[in-house]
Amino acid sequence: MTDAPSDFGRWSAALRDLSAERSVLRLAPRDLLLVHGSDDEIVPALDARVVASAHGTAALRIIAGAGHHLRHDPRPIAILLGWLDRQRRHHT
């Protein structure tokens, strides 16, 4: 059994009700890393700041000059690996 909407109308309503700011509250107080490009033309960097603020303790890293697609940029990987290493050291 799933909580997924049963028809298109309900899917549409559920999508309209999505809120990153509300959803991120369920993650707190767990640690959270947000990585965002400063030049993202799809999702503004301000949105990442709002989500980080809603979480309360999220680590936010804005990558200067980066856009929406970070897959081929080595900087977010370095940020992630450093953050994971700090998490490992802090929680062991």
| Across 29-54, average pLDDT | 96
Instruction: Quote the CA–CA distance of 75 and 67 in Å, as a whole number.
Output: 12
Please indicate whether residue 77 or residue 92 has the higher confidence score (pLDDT). 77
Domain membership of residue 2 (yes or no) is no
Q: What is the pLDDT of residue 84?
A: 98
In the numeric block, the tokens 């929406």 are attached to 68
Cα 20 vs. chain centroid, distance in angstroms? 8
Domain membership of residue 46 (yes or no) is yes
Give me the number of domains the chain comprises: 1
Amino acid identity for residue 70 in this structure: L
Structure tokens at 83: 């953050």
Instruction: Quote the CA–CA distance of 59 and 81 in Å, as a whole number.
Output: 13
**Domain range enclosing 51:** 8-90
Residue whose C-alpha is closest to residue 35's, from 12, 11, 66, 72 = 66
Domain membership of residue 3 (yes or no) is no
**Is this model's pTM higher than 0.85 or not?**
no
